[in-house]
Amino acid sequence: MKNSIKNALQDSFSYPEYREHIATLLADGKVTGHTQSEALLGYTQLNETRMNRLDKTLAVLPEVQEQLNALPKTITWLVLAEGWCGDAAQILPVLNKTAEATDKVVLKIVLRDDHDDLMNLFLTNGGKAIPKVILWDADAEEVIGSWGPRPEPARKMIADYKAEHGVVDEPIKVELQKWYLKDKGETTQRELLALIEQNVLVE
């Protein structure tokens, strides 16, 4: 696992670099990942609009800021993502805004399809669901937690719908995006805060 994480970190993007990489690909009519299609291109273009909006409107919750200030050590959030992923487009701006609020969190992003070995270590119910956030303690060289691909209310929404209808189709995807819009990244922040409280000793 250590080698997979270290290799991923060497190949990682900062958030601005990730955004620039996607924009460069889009300018050539391409998307991230090993599969190219009109559908993925459309999703990526839509996600760019979402991320631009979120970058301007998101705010870090006061209780999250307080806990970030109390962190006794620097931790890395290593995130597996792809530009066409709707959940990643909603989550990454939250992670970036939160990381920007402290010098104790370093945000690094890698593309899932380029790091299959790492993705296979952090499957969700046997699937390669993204985004997946890996909390990495660089000093101790150990994983101290993971999170994703969705906040719990969103996960439950999708799971319940799939249990009833057998598929995850366009209607529930629209409802999911409405949930994200209403939530404004607050649940993601609180769940990450809880994860930090569980796995990082705070003074």
The region that residue 71 occupies, defined by phi over 0 for left and psi between -120 and 50 for alpha, beta otherwise, is: beta
Give the pair of three-digit tokens for residue 145.
């937690």
Q: Where are the alpha helices (DSSP H) in the chain?
A: 2-10, 15-27, 38-57, 62-69, 86-100, 116-119, 152-165, 170-183, 186-199
For residue 137, list its beta bridge partners. 142
CATH 3.40.50.12160 correct for 2-199:
no
pLDDT tens for the chain, residues 1 to 203 = 889 999 999 999 999 999 999 999 999 999 999 999 999 999 999 999 999 999 999 999 999 999 998 888 899 999 999 999 999 999 999 999 999 999 999 999 999 999 999 999 999 999 999 999 999 998 889 999 999 999 999 999 999 999 999 999 999 999 999 999 999 999 999 999 899 888 775 44
